[in-house]
A and B are shown apart, each in its own frame.
Chain A
Amino acid sequence: KAGVTQTPRYLIKTRGQQVTLSCSPISGHRSVSWYQQTPGQGLQFLFEYFSETQRNKGNFPGRFSGRQFSNSRSEMNVSTLELGDSALYLCASSLEANYGYTFGSGTRLTVV
């Protein structure tokens, strides 16, 4: 079965721009979560969605937002990009809470 698909794989943006990243979960998975990975901070939780409802949000500024659609696909948006937003953004899907996660390959965002 198809895995978790993240698009695009790589992205270069300029400071001040905004970006939208997409995540398609495994078919049947209703939970999608997003993470930021940087060399300095490691993996950090951004959001978790279940059936279009945000269940929790990490400690990130309001420039980071997300949503989930009725088909469980999810998007995250970062507005007014800063250099420090350069990171690998990962999403993961799971069937439900307390089930295992399947991670996508990530989107590598570079802000210049």
Chain B
Amino acid sequence: KNEVEQSPQNLTAQEGEFITINCSYSVGISALHWLQQHPGGGIVSLFMLSSGKKKHGRLIATINIQEKHSSLHITASHPRDSAVYICARRGNYKLTFGKGTLLTVNP
């Protein structure tokens, strides 16, 4: 079992839908990161969490330390949100990544 598990692997939505991507990890963390990667593009850091909830525009990230689980929500999704979303746990001076969720938002 991978240290970091993401679900779903692929997600297709219609513009305007509410999106949830889940991330579970098996080992304790110092922080949990959510990253975005557009096809052929670089990686952008969206959130770093160690507890609670953070919001930036239409994106919300939550983490439950006891359950070792984090979620990334996108409200009112838009085609420009189409990308791969990757969660990564930080511990022991390294990042361990999930396999990513490919999100496609259709107009």
Q: Which residues of A contact B (CB under 8 A)?
A: 33, 35, 42-45, 48, 50, 55-56, 58, 90, 92, 97-106
Contacts and interface: CB of A to CB of B under 8 A. Distances in A.
B42 A97 contact: no
A97 B94 contact: no
Q: Which secondary structure dominates where chain B touches chain A?
A: strand
A56 B96 CA distance: 12
Interface string B79-107: 00000001010101111111110000000
B30 A48 contact: no
A102 B95 contact: no
Q: How large is the interface on B (under 10, 10 to 19, 20 to 34, 35 or more residues)?
A: 20 to 34
A42 B90 CA distance: 16
Nearest to B30: A98
Given A33-B94, A101-B45, 13 more contacts: A33-B95, A42-B97, A42-B98, A42-B100, A43-B95, A92-B43, A97-B90, A98-B31, A98-B50, A98-B90, A100-B45, A103-B35, A104-B42
B48 interface: yes
A97 B29 CA distance: 12
Given A100-B48, A103-B44, A103-B45, A43 B94 contact: no
Interface in B20-42: 30-31, 33, 35, 42
B25 to A, nearest CB: 14
B93 A97 contact: yes
A105 B90 CA distance: 21
A100 B48 CA distance: 6
A92 to B, nearest CB: 8
